[in-house]
């Protein structure tokens, strides 16, 4: 097992990784910017290194500063680096720098990150590996004229997105040419600004789809396991708000086909560690297409942990050290139902950012309730990072019990200071669509018409 790890991240995910490190006897080192000095993860680590100089706590000067992070690792003498999600987690150059510094990278081979990071290459690779993909670009779309021609070939409606992108940034749907022209310009300017590459991908937009992903684990011996799916169809601005497993929209037969395809996807890039194969499911037709693969721990990994009893961060540590997993893959039997509700610092109607100082923070507790939080009372939520405050996760013997526990937990969660989307979650859990499980990615816009 690794003896020490630096967590190159912040907030709830840094705290989550540190928790497993401490439980398994791995020394945990945190890094932090000026803005985050008071957050719980900094205090809970065995050691913490300040990497974001005053006066500017913007990410480029701290959690995106590869040299500062590697210096912190050297200075503290750690054996490994865990990137969390976001920031440098899917940056192949950073992974290479970590490895070149003689440290263990807790993640897949940089080559696999690179192959999957370019969404166009990834689509082409998946198609060759026998994983279904939707009609779409096989090469980057470089200008508006090419976009129009490509959309005509593919057929409207289409989704326009950055080939190097993620997090829903710059993504847009177009139903006809005028909409496509505007979506293309938006996507390209966001792609250049946020991802440093103007390459655009166009693919057929699947209406009435569910967003369902499969958790995979590439073991040190080369086997690739699929640990079940997560339904992530509750989204605003193409970003996830709530997730659950198992998916209420996936039949046993479809699940079997999706899990098998996810294993093939992992095998195609000789995947090691925890990864996620995202798909769109057409529930009416009972079919699915590959969307993208995330080559890191996913935000919503706790729902898989709750139903399988497997600590995914522990498996990441073991795999990085070349060791077998802590569980017997043949005996894996997911049980019950789990939900995750993302608690964001945003207004619960228009979903606009509402940072601020937290004056009250009281987490719910009880059977089946797990809260992965990045903050506590007295902390200031700044505008510099994403709005995720905490993940409220619940586990029940079945979906009904999980929903009941989630409703109670939402009502009991008290946060004052920044506005939060807790009232939205209460509405979501009360809605007939979510209660019955009969929903798709359009659910949030139905609950909150513009």
Partner 1 sequence: MAEVRAEMVANVWKVVVAEGDHVDDGDTLVILESMKMEIPVLAEGAGVVTKMHVAEGDVIQEGDLIASIG
Binding mask 230-249 for partner 1 (x = CB under 8 A): -------x------------
Whether residue 64 contacts residue 87, with contact meaning beta carbons closer than 8 Å, is answered with yes
Whether residue 337 contacts residue 307, with contact meaning beta carbons closer than 8 Å, is answered with yes
Among positions 205, 317, 384, 439, the unique one binding partner 1 when judged by CB under 8 A: 384
> What are the angstrom distances between the C-alpha of 180 and each of 6, 175, 184, 325?
44, 7, 6, 47
Q: Which is nearer to partner 1, 56 or 267 (CB)?
A: 56
Among positions 382, 431, 435, 442, the unique one binding partner 1 when judged by CB under 8 A: 382
Q: Determine if 445 is a binding residue for partner 1 (CB under 8 A).
A: no
Q: Is 442 exposed, middle or buried (0-12, 13-18, 19+ CB in 10 A)?
A: middle
Site for partner 1 in 164-193 (CB under 8 A): 167, 169
Q: Which is nearer to partner 1, 87 or 361 (CB)?
A: 87
Whether residue 279 contacts residue 206, with contact meaning beta carbons closer than 8 Å, is answered with no
Q: Is 366 exposed, middle or buried (0-12, 13-18, 19+ CB in 10 A)?
A: exposed
Q: Determine if 348 is a binding residue for partner 1 (CB under 8 A).
A: no
Rounded Cα distance between 264 and 226, Å, is 10
**Interacting stretch for partner 1, rule CB under 8 A, among 129-137, 145-153, 315-323, 353-361?**
353-361
> To the nearest whole angstrom, how small is the minimum distance from the Cβ of residue 194 to partner 1?
8
Q: Determine if 34 is a binding residue for partner 1 (CB under 8 A).
A: no
Q: Which is nearer to partner 1, 186 or 287 (CB)?
A: 186
Whether residue 230 contacts residue 213, with contact meaning beta carbons closer than 8 Å, is answered with yes
Among positions 203, 340, 346, 372, the unique one binding partner 1 when judged by CB under 8 A: 346
- The distance in angstroms from the start CA to the end CA of the chain is 51
- For residue 275, the cross-strand partners are 216
Among positions 10, 211, 240, 354, the unique one binding partner 1 when judged by CB under 8 A: 354
Residue 246: cis peptide before it, omega within 30 degrees of 0: yes
Binding mask 196-235 for partner 1 (x = CB under 8 A): ----------------------------------------
Q: Determine if 383 is a binding residue for partner 1 (CB under 8 A).
A: yes
Catalytic residue IDs: 296
Residues that bind partner 1 (CB under 8 A): 58, 167, 169, 237, 345-346, 352-356, 382-387
């Amino acid at each position: 097992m690794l003896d020490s790890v630096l967590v190159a991240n912040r907030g709830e995910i840094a705290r989550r990784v540190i928790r497993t490190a401490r439980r398994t006897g791995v020394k945990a080192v945190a890094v932090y910017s000026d803005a985050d000095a008071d957050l719980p993860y900094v205090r809970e680590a065995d050691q913490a290194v300040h990497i974001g100089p005053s006066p500017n706590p913007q990410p480029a000067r701290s959690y995106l500063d590869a040299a500062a992070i590697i210096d912190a690792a050297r200075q503290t003498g750690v054996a490994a680096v865990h990137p969390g999600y976001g920031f440098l987690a899917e940056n192949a150059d950073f992974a290479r720098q970590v490895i070149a510094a003689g440290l263990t990278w807790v993640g897949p081979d940089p080559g696999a990150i690179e192959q999957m990071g370019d969404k166009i290459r990834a689509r082409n690779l998946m198609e060759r590996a026998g994983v279904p993909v939707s009609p779409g670009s096989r090469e980057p779309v470089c200008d508006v004229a090419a976009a129009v021609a490509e959309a005509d070939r593919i057929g409207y409606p289409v989704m326009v997105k950055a080939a190097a992108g993620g997090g829903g940034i710059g993504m847009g749907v177009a139903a006809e040419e005028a909409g496509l022209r505007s979506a293309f310009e938006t996507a390209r300017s966001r792609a250049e600004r946020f991802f440093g590459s103007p390459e655009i991908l166009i693919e057929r937009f699947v209406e009435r789809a569910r967003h369902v992903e499969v958790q995979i684990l590439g073991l040190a011996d080369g086997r690739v396991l699929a640990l079940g799916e997560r339904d992530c169809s509750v989204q605003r601005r193409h970003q996830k708000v709530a997730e659950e497993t198992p998916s209420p929209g996936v039949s046993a037969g479809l699940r079997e086909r999706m899990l098998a395809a996810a294993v093939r996807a992992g095998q195609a890039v000789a995947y090691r560690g925890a990864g996620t194969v995202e798909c769109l499911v057409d529930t009416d037709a009972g079919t699915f297409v590959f969307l993208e693969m995330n080559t890191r721990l996913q935000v919503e990994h706790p729902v898989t942990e709750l139903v399988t009893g497997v600590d995914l961060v522990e498996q990441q540590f073991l795999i990085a050290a070349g060791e077998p997993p802590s569980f017997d893959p043949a005996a894996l039997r997911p049980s019950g139902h789990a939900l995750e509700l993302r608690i964001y610092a945003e207004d619960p109607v228009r979903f606009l950012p509402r940072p601020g100082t937290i004056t009250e923070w009281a987490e719910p507790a009880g059977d089946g309730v797990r809260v992965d939080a990045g903050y506590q009372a007295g902390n200031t939520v700044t505008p510099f990072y994403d709005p995720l405050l905490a993940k409220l996760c619940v586990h029940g013997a079945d979906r009904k019990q999980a929903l009941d526990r989630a409703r109670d937990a939402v009502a009991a969660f008290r946060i004052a200071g920044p506005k939060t989307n807790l009232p939205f979650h209460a509405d979501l859990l009360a809605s007939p669509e979510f209660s019955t499980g009969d929903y798709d990615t359009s659910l949030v816009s139905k609950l909150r018409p513009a």
